Amino acid sequence: PLEIDMLRSFNVVGGEEKEEKEKEKEAQKQEGKSNAGQEDSLGALALKVLLEGDADKKAEETLSIGKRWADGLISNNFPEKSRHSLPSEPCRPQSVQMVDARKVKQGSKASFVHSLCHAESYAIDLMWDLMLRFSDEDLPKEFYDDWIKVASDEARHYSIWRDRLSELGSSYGDFPAHNSLWESASETSHDLLARLAIVHMVHEARGLDVAHAALSRFQKENPPDVKSAQILENNVRDETTHVGAAVKWFKYVCEKRRLGDPVKVYHDYVKKYFRGVLKPPFNKQARLEAGMTEDWYLPLAGAENNQGEEKESAGKENKQEDAGGKEEAKGKEEEEEEEDDMLKVAGEVD
């Protein structure tokens, strides 16, 4: 009887322990689901990228989010905690020395590729900041579809330029860089329309305008840098769709706010938040593909610059008559200026 009582007692205790363990396991499971729900919200993931200081991990995480979003594994949710934790500036690699934009020179091919790599890395942060900062605008899922794709494109571009830089014997951080583009983002952090107008429809559109000068630089290398030129050509096709996304959502927000003609609204924003005038020549074909007809940008070029664009065509006919040392020097200076503006850094390097 004693042995039977002990056995019964053991079974009772054992059963209680088993029940407690099962309850604990279920609680952990539910907690895990809760945490997973937070981690897999778009807001939490956007914040995670912005707080990542390693450029490679930032790109890798962005590509991962893009795939998971496409597979429907991320909720279109922006917890208050994520918005309140949004940094005024994203975490950036400590290895990259930041200097005044006017001190950044792109003399060597490696330094030029480095500037493109840097621009793409910063663009990743800009896209996630855009989505998280303005997540209280009550925007449709399609908005996030578009900008997650843009962020993924930028991550892919960064990775390709980083690998190309390695092939040239350098790495990201070997040359100084600047954060002028982020300064524009900061100045437009209060208004989605201002951000779309300045960062995307001015600066990123300028990247389309100066792409030819950058391609020409690679093609003039001895021997011509065919690989870098091909990378740039592929990227510019993507950048055209990025400008197109900005135009699309600029129009959408204008209509949502009942502001009237979006072209006029764009002109007002550029005059208010952009220093200077838009600089020709313009890549009219790429801009048209992005939905920017001439009425969007030509009036913002100013009378002097519009005349300059007309003179450019006439100048080609009189090139031999006007050729000279001073003209050649001026042309070289203008070409270098276009290269400084390349891909999302336009207007801030003047």
Q: Report the chain (350 residues): mean pLDDT per 10 consecutive residues.
A: 51 55 48 47 96 97 97 90 87 84 74 94 96 94 98 98 97 87 91 98 95 92 94 96 98 98 98 92 96 97 47 42 44 48 41
Q: What is the pLDDT of residue 16?
A: 57
User: Could you give the CA distance from residue 293 to residue 283 in angstroms, rounded to a whole number?
Assistant: 11
Neighbours of 85 (CB within 10 A): 14
Percentages helix, strand, coil for the chain (3-state, rounded to 5) are 70, 0, 25
Q: What is the pLDDT of residue 177?
A: 86
Do the beta carbons of residue 96 and residue 178 sit within 8 Å?
no
Encoding tokens for residue 337?
């200026």
Amino acid at 345: V
Q: What is the pLDDT of residue 3?
A: 53
DSSP state of 299: G
Neighbours of 244 (CB within 10 A): 19
User: Could you give the CA distance from residue 187 to residue 274 in angstroms, rounded to a whole number?
Assistant: 10
Amino acid at 63: L
Q: What is the pLDDT of residue 343?
A: 41
Encoding tokens for residue 230?
């091909």
CA neighbours closer than 13 Å in the CB half-sphere of residue 114:
22
Do the beta carbons of residue 188 and residue 198 sit within 8 Å?
yes
Angle between helices 55-70 and 141-167 (to 10 degrees): 140
E-assigned strands of the chain?
none
The length of the chain in residues reads: 350
Task: Quote the distance between the C-alpha of residue 166 and its chain's center.
Answer: 22
DSSP state of 159: H
Do the beta carbons of residue 87 and residue 51 sit within 8 Å?
yes
Q: What is the pLDDT of residue 22?
A: 55
Amino acid at 6: M
Residue 108, C-beta contacts closer than 8 angstroms, at least 6 positions apart:
none
Q: What is the pLDDT of residue 105?
A: 66
139: left (phi over 0), alpha (psi -120 to 50) or beta: beta
Which H or E element spans position 349?
none
**Predicted TM-score (pTM) of this structure:** 0.78
Q: How far is CA 295 from CA 187, 192, 269, 304, in A?
A: 25, 22, 15, 17
DSSP state of 200: I
Q: What is the pLDDT of residue 36?
A: 42
